[in-house]
Structure 1
Amino acid sequence: MVGMVVTSLCALAALALFALLGGGANFFVCVGLAVLPVPIMVATVLLLDRLEPEPARDLLFAFLWGAGVAVLGALILNTVGLKYVTEPVFGEQGRFWTTVVGAPVVEEALKGAVLFVLLWFRRNEIDGVTDGIVYATMVSLGFAMMENISYYLEALDDGGAQRLEAVFLLRGLVAPFCHPLFTAMTGLGVAYAANRRTGRVTALVAGLLAAMLLHGLWNGGTLMGVGGLAVVYLLDFCILVVLLTLIFLERRALVRQIGHYLPAYLRTGLVSPQDIAMLGQMPLRREARRWARSIGGKGAARAMSDYQLAATELVLLHKRMDNGVIDVPFFARRRGELLRLMGIARQALALSRIHAGPVAPPPWGPSGFAPPPG
């Protein structure tokens, strides 16, 4: 709660500062343009994260950190660095060095800081590559949204509407994924550190340095004209493809792990072979939620979502135990919680079937979520 309040206040302070600098209707126009791509980007992130969604409060905290703490910190440190470091040392080249070196170091350190906070306090929520990328993307979207406001205001001041259109085309439409891509490198390091016992510090440092390097290359490319921008854009696009491939491979591995770990729980009655098959296929998971809604409305659909999430979390818990990153007492306690949640969800769905009267059996198999006998 404290973190939410602090980050929100920082975001409001940044907006107030931009409003003072921009003034009038220009400020609201620039805010609207900066916000425009954010819902699409957030929806895309949530789509990538749909197999094992992260807590909404953690995603919101990351976004607000980027929009508040990171933006204010970068504004102060970049300004101070330009005035007292790069300009005195490099003279007329001071702004170039701030853009290519200073800003990437400051901004990626500030964005990455929230990932380190989550690693320290919410380590058990970071289950793999996808989670690291998702959190990195959320903090970067918040940062990019606020930074774009300042860029759009500056464009209006420098060249009017025509200049604003060019800057919006580049930052809002052509390359909105750049900030998330940079910080995703830090996210990869954090994901490794959360799921491995060795090489954690190396992974964190390497991820942060890679984020700074990619950011610096992009900023340098924007100063080298269309040719330089095209080269770094192509590089970033290739890295984006690699990241999406990693997410796809991790999801496929998780599906295999569902079939590996969950059969051990057949004797508990909390899963059946048909349920395991359903949990391992995204189309069947969606069909299961639709079926639950048809028999019991939103409550039953929520119960099915809870069941699917708890079962997936159980598989990931086993994976973390096998990797040696959690101890036996935590494993036993958390497994008990997840099994209880699965039991409650199954009972709710079974009761929904009774109250609904004659209904079609679950589409993934006749034995799944059967009402209790008698």
Structure 2
Amino acid sequence: MTTLDPQAILDGRTPGRPSLKLIVGMVVTSTCALATLAVFAFLGDGGTFFVGLALALLPVPILLSAVLLLDRLEPEPVRDLVFAFLWGAGVAVVGALILNTLGYKYVTAPFFGDDKGLVWTATVGAPVIEESLKGAVLFVLLWFRRNEIDGITDGIVYAAMVALGFAMMENISYYMQAIDAGGQGRLEAVFILRGLISPLGHPLFTAMTGLGVAWAANHRRGRIPAVMAGLAGAILLHALWNGAAAYGVRGLAVVYVLDFCLLLVLLTLVFFERRALVHQIGRHLPAYVPTGLVSPQDIVMLGHIQRRRDARRWARKVGGKGAARAMSDYQLGATELVLLHKRLDAGVIETDFFTTRRTQLLNLMAVARQALLLSRPGRQPVTPPWGPSGLAGPPPQPPRQRP
């Protein structure tokens, strides 16, 4: 059987060891995150720090799971997601701590006084600094990993990852301050507000930058205006939230309703983009039916999340974990192939890149299909429950020319 690295193909990277750029990025972001935790631990006593850390970590698994659910049809590379999260928890937090402090000390406090300086820092300085720092990793991904940002959903997912990392570290500080300022009662109020009522605040702000970056990655025109408009939207939403705090519960309630409506809009955009992807599956994959890699029944299966899940369960039942993994590779390879066609139609990739990438994905689908056959008892073709399939029968040779 052909030897290849399925995950490397799906991630759009060179098989083998991680790149030096990725290693350096991980080291820098992790070091910044650890340094921030060390500072928090030094500033507070042991009990205060660990209580703040525990409360900040508590909602993170739930929030991360909710974000990743948005991207089930075409999951983003784990390395990129981890890098985005660590950037938010490390580089963005360290940069914000330094720049916000310097901005207050040398700009807002001298011009407006101590009290008004704090207000100006919170409502103007902090949103500009923090959203720019969080958005920076999205700009990095746009520059180095543009082909992984296939649409609105990807922009939102990456934005949410960096924002959740930032919010987690920021919450540690807020919870520690709450304990020092008012004890348990104050801590409970802050946790309810930041951990339960508005845990998606930062992800919603930064999602605006993610939308701009997604547009830039998938269109040939208007890239810079789109990115700048997205960043401006993130700053505005962040400033509105911070400014509303000055008006107490009523102000926060108004902004909370606004953010909730924005959340519904983003979920609607994700829903319609997913429907559009299903339409693209039905449009592009039929051209590959003559290759034997797919059948009309496979195309129907690939265009429905529940049927894809059922297909993986069927593969596991007839061939074990290896077959389930092969089915997952097959599904993701087919989805990446459709997205590749979409990007070619949009004119954001070159024909040579399309041809090379397409050959890799077709090879992946062929090898995954072969692995499914070899994992079955007796290695006999078994018709899947969704009907006659390209996943039953001898493995074909993928075509070398665009159909």
TM-score tier by shorter-chain length is: over 0.9
Whole-angstrom distance in 2 between the partners of 1:167 and 1:226: 13
- 3-state SS of paired residue (2:348): coil
> Which residue of 337, 348, 362 corresponds with 2:384?
362
Q: Give runs of aligned pairs for residues 290-301 of structure 1, distance below 5 A.
A: 290-301=313-324
Could you give the per-residue CA deviations for residues 216-243 of structure 1, whole angstroms, max 9, x where no partner exists? 0000112211110000000010011000
Query: Which segments of 5 or more consecutive residues in structure 2 lack a partner in the other structure?
Result: 1-22, 396-403
Could you give the per-residue CA deviations for residues 10-67 of structure 1, whole angstroms, max 9, x where no partner exists? 0000000000111211111110000000000100111111100000000000000000
Equivalent residue, structure 2, for 1:56 = 78
Equivalent residue, structure 2, for 1:25 = 47
Whole-angstrom distance in 2 between the partners of 1:50 and 1:218: 31
Equivalent residue, structure 2, for 1:134 = 157
Contact kept in structure 2, 1:295 and 1:356, CA below 8 Å: no
Contact kept in structure 1, 2:295 and 2:388, CA below 8 Å: no
> Which residue of 87, 90, 97 corresponds with 1:65?
87
Whole-angstrom distance in 2 between the partners of 1:26 and 1:154: 9
Whole-angstrom distance in 2 between the partners of 1:235 and 1:12: 34
Residue 372 of structure 2 corresponds to residue 349 of structure 1: yes
Residue 271 of structure 2 corresponds to residue 253 of structure 1: no
Contact kept in structure 1, 2:333 and 2:365, CA below 8 Å: yes
Equivalent residue, structure 2, for 1:85 = 107
Could you give the per-residue CA deviations for residues 275-319 of structure 1, whole angstroms, max 9, x where no partner exists? 101001111100000011111211111111111001000000000
Q: Give runs of aligned pairs for residues 34-49 of structure 1, distance below 5 A.
A: 34-49=56-71
Whole-angstrom distance in 1 between the partners of 2:218 and 2:229: 16
Residue 117 of structure 2 corresponds to residue 124 of structure 1: no
Equivalent residue, structure 2, for 1:274 = 297
> Which residue of 23, 31, 39 corresponds with 1:9?
31
Structure 1 length-normalised TM: 0.98
Equivalent residue, structure 1, for 2:179 = 156
Whole-angstrom distance in 1 between the partners of 2:56 and 2:178: 13
Structure 2 length-normalised TM: 0.91
Contact kept in structure 2, 1:354 and 1:371, CA below 8 Å: no
Tell me the CA shift for residue 355 of structure 1.
3.6
Tell me the CA shift for residue 81 of structure 1.
0.3
Q: How many residues align?
A: 372
Tell me the CA shift for residue 168 of structure 1.
0.3
Equivalent residue, structure 1, for 2:327 = 304
Whole-angstrom distance in 2 between the partners of 1:151 and 1:55: 32
Tell me the CA shift for residue 356 of structure 1.
6.4
Aligned AA for 1:34? Answer: A
Whole-angstrom distance in 1 between the partners of 2:373 and 2:387: 14
Whole-angstrom distance in 2 between the partners of 1:192 and 1:220: 29
> Which residue of 46, 55, 75 corresponds with 2:97?
75
C-alpha RMSD of matched pairs (Å): 1.2
Residue 210 of structure 2 corresponds to residue 187 of structure 1: yes
Whole-angstrom distance in 1 between the partners of 2:161 and 2:189: 25
- 3-state SS of paired residue (2:362): helix
Whole-angstrom distance in 2 between the partners of 1:326 and 1:23: 54
- 3-state SS of paired residue (2:199): coil
Whole-angstrom distance in 2 between the partners of 1:355 and 1:207: 56
Equivalent residue, structure 2, for 1:225 = 248
Aligned AA for 2:308? Answer: R
- 3-state SS of paired residue (2:376): helix
Could you give the per-residue CA deviations for residues 125-181 of structure 1, whole angstroms, max 9, x where no partner exists? 000000000000000000000000000000011001110000000000000001000
Whole-angstrom distance in 2 between the partners of 1:305 and 1:20: 46
> Which residue of 273, 278, 286 corresponds with 1:263?
286
Structure 2 CA distance for partners of 1:192 and 1:24, relative to 1, 3 Å: same
Aligned AA for 2:325? Answer: R
Equivalent residue, structure 2, for 1:372 = 394
> Which residue of 123, 138, 142 corresponds with 1:100?
123
Contact kept in structure 2, 1:362 and 1:368, CA below 8 Å: no
Aligned AA for 1:351? Answer: L
Query: Which segments of 5 or more consecutive residues in structure 1 lack a partner in the other structure?
Result: none
Contact kept in structure 2, 1:71 and 1:147, CA below 8 Å: yes
Structure 2 CA distance for partners of 1:357 and 1:325, relative to 1, 3 Å: closer
> Which residue of 326, 345, 356 corresponds with 2:349?
326
Whole-angstrom distance in 2 between the partners of 1:367 and 1:190: 38
Contact kept in structure 2, 1:22 and 1:153, CA below 8 Å: yes
Equivalent residue, structure 1, for 2:10 = none
Contact kept in structure 1, 2:381 and 2:392, CA below 8 Å: no
Contact kept in structure 2, 1:155 and 1:167, CA below 8 Å: yes
Identity of aligned residues (%): 73
